[in-house]
């Protein structure tokens, strides 16, 4: 009895100390010396006057596949790496087909696990079947039953030491016909282990009828917005954490995606730049209609209370919600030089040749990131309420502002991408006089069909 009492006291003290450590330490040391690389997909025909092109997502995925020695875990929304779904015979689908072939070959050699949102009846399943037949373990996650959302996350974990996260789906269009942005972190087992816990949660949910509450201890994390991991990225001291949505999928210690976004906006002192495909202060897919203004309110607040400069770069294409633009115009109206109110909105339009217009769900800026004077945020979600309340997503948050850097910081790199796009000919200022019918209809480009 004495020993049982002693052990209970000891474990209680240890647990209390762990919680106190999480509460009071300003960061948690990781020890990684990782390499951060910003990667992009630039649609065929889109050209920028930029002297610093980034590695393509296609090249990045091929490289990660070739480097994988023991394991590859992929969290994904859907799979259409071949061109069977469009029946357009588009030559640029070859990059997606190459990725699928390489993944199939890899699945015969090492452990490949794929967590994918349960496909609808109309969604193609050929890619998933091919990979499963090649030896990959595939689990479908029925988020509609679990949270009434979908699994919208897009990340890779390689050999438990490299990670990729970003906006690109496992879709051939994401490599050549859609504008995407992501990040790779090489040689950081701490970060890979932490995002691996998010993957393991999806893996578990694929065989569960309910979401655990609370989550078992193996899914908890030390790393969050209050206690980020401290590590070296590109030789620079960095504070990093991973956020996740919805809150019901966040185990103890994990910052929810919405709380990450709100805290980043609150901490900004000079500017907040946001590039997302969709932005709506509503529950976009709910019935009856529901207003949802958490992010919208925070942007207005920092613009008013601290004269923070706010810029939103939003996409416009044939799948855009018509409700989005009245709300965006409302935000853009918070502009007055005398009061130092400065919120601006631009629409980013990806041009299309006549043949490219025939490709469904293509020719759009699919980016999902935010950058401030302090933080770089690279996510997988669109910005409407559903994505933070019901749908599974994730994000990488990096802060390097407290350290000296010999090269451009992650934040500076992402800021350069935003400013390149903002100042480009593909961006059009949104105001009350903007004719969206003219703006959102992709104009034929001057180059020949590819």
Q: Which DSSP string corresponds to 60-79? A: HHHHHHHH-SSEEEEEES-E
Could you tell me if residue 163 is inside a domain?
Answer: yes
Contact 388, 382 (CB under 8 A): no
pTM, to two decimals: 0.92
Could you tell me if residue 23 is inside a domain?
Answer: no
Could you tell me if residue 418 is inside a domain?
Answer: yes
| Angle of the 126-133 helix axis to the 94-107 helix axis, nearest 10 | 30
Q: Which residue, among 260, 193, 256, 196, has the nearest Cα to 30 in the 3D structure?
A: 193
**What are residue 289's phi and psi, to 5 degrees?**
-60, 145
Pairing mode, if any, of strands 170-171 and 180-186?
unpaired
Q: Mean pLDDT, to the nearest integer, of 140-163? A: 98
Q: What is the largest CA-CA distance in the chain?
A: 84
Q: Residue 312: beta bridge partners? A: 274, 345
Q: What is the pLDDT of residue 8?
A: 42
Question: Scanning the structure block, which residue is given the tokens 């923070």?
Answer: 308
Q: What is the pLDDT of residue 121?
A: 83
How many angstroms separate the CA atoms of 124 and 222, rounded?
39
Residues forming the active site: 152, 154, 159, 366, 368, 373
Percentage of the chain modeled with pLDDT above 70: 91
Return the structure tokens found at 447.
């180059």
Could you tell me if residue 450 is inside a domain?
Answer: no
Looking at the structure of the chain, the number of domains it has is: 1
Could you tell me if residue 13 is inside a domain?
Answer: no
Q: Mean pLDDT, to the nearest integer, of 250-257? A: 98
Q: Mean pLDDT, to the nearest integer, of 89-111? A: 96
Length of the chain: 450
pLDDT confidence band for 25 (50 / 70 / 90):
low
Q: Which residue, among 267, 281, 270, 80, has the nearest Cα to 169 in the 3D structure?
A: 80
Domain that holds residue 223: 28-440
The 3-state DSSP class for residue 81 equals: coil
Q: What is the pLDDT of residue 16?
A: 39
Residue 14, pLDDT above cutoff 70: no
Residue 227, pLDDT above cutoff 60: yes
**91-98 own/partner pairs: CB under 8 Å, 24+ apart:** 91/450, 92/44, 92/172, 92/175, 92/176, 92/177, 92/450, 93/172, 93/176, 95/58, 95/172, 95/175, 95/176, 96/171, 96/172, 96/173, 96/174, 96/175, 96/176, 97/172, 98/62
Based on DSSP, count helices (H) and strands (E) in the chain, helices before strands.
13, 20
* Domain harbouring 292, CATH code: 3.30.870.10
Q: What is the pLDDT of residue 15?
A: 41
Q: What is the pLDDT of residue 7?
A: 42
- What angle (nearest 5°) sits at the alpha carbon of residue 58, between those of residues 232 and 258? 55
Residue 22, pLDDT above cutoff 60: no
Return the structure tokens found at 55.
């590695």
Return the structure tokens found at 288.
């009856």
Q: What is the pLDDT of residue 443?
A: 42
pLDDT confidence band for 52 (50 / 70 / 90):
low
Residue 24, pLDDT above cutoff 50: no
Could you tell me if residue 268 is inside a domain?
Answer: yes
Could you tell me if residue 5 is inside a domain?
Answer: no
Q: Mean pLDDT, to the nearest integer, of 111-118? A: 98
Could you tell me if residue 446 is inside a domain?
Answer: no
- What angle (nearest 5°) sits at the alpha carbon of residue 26, between those of residues 20 and 28? 80
pLDDT confidence band for 53 (50 / 70 / 90):
confident
How many angstroms separate the CA atoms of 414 and 181, rounded?
10
Q: Who's near 55: CB < 8 A, 6+ residues apart?
A: 37, 39, 40
């Amino acid at each position: 009895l004495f020993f049982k009492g002693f052990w209970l006291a000891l474990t209680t003290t240890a647990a209390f100390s762990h919680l106190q450590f999480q509460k009071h330490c300003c960061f948690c040391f990781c020890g990684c010396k990782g390499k951060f690389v910003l990667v992009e997909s630039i649609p065929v025909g889109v050209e920028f006057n930029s002297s610093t092109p980034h590695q393509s997502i296609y090249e990045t995925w091929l490289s990660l596949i070739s480097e994988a020695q023991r394991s590859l875990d992929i969290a994904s929304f859907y799979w259409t790496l071949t061109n069977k779904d469009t029946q357009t015979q588009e030559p640029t689908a070859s990059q997606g087909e190459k990725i699928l072939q390489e993944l199939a070959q890899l699945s015969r050699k090492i452990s490949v696990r794929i967590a994918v949102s349960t496909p609808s009846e109309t969604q193609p399943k050929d890619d998933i079947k091919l990979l499963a037949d090649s030896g990959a373990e595939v689990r479908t996650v029925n988020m509609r039953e679990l949270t009434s959302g979908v699994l919208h996350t897009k990340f890779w974990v390689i050999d438990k030491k490299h990670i990729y996260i970003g906006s690109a789906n496992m879709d051939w269009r994401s490599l050549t016909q859609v504008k995407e942005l992501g990040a790779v972190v090489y040689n950081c087992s701490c970060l890979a282990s932490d995002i691996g816990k998010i993957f393991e949660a999806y893996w578990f949910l694929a065989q569960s009828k309910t979401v655990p509450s609370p989550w078992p201890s193996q899914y908890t994390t030390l790393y969050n917005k209050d206690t980020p991991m401290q590590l070296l990225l590109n030789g620079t001291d960095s504070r990093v954490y991973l956020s996740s949505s919805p809150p019901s999928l966040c185990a103890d210690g994990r910052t929810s995606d919405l709380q990450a976004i709100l805290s980043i906006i609150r901490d900004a002192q000079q500017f907040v730049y946001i590039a997302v495909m969709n932005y709506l202060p509503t529950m976009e897919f709910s019935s009856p209609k529901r207003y949802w203004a958490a992010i919208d309110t925070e942007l207005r607040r920092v613009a008013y209370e601290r004269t923070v400069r706010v810029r939103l770069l939003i996409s416009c294409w044939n799948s855009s919600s018509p409700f989005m633009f009245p709300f965006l115009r409302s935000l853009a109206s918070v502009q007055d030089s005398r009061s130092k109110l400065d919120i601006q909105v631009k629409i980013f339009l990806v041009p299309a040749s006549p043949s490219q217009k025939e490709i469904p769900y293509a020719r759009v800026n699919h980016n999902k990131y935010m950058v401030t004077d302090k933080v770089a945020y690279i996510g997988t979600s669109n910005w409407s309420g559903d994505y933070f309340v019901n749908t599974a997503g994730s994000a990488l948050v990096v802060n390097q502002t407290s350290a000296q850097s010999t090269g451009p910081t992650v934040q500076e790199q992402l800021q350069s991408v935003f400013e390149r796009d903002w100042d480009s000919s593909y961006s059009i200022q949104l105001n009350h006089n903007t004719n969206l019918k003219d703006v959102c209809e992709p104009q034929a480009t001057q180059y020949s069909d590819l």
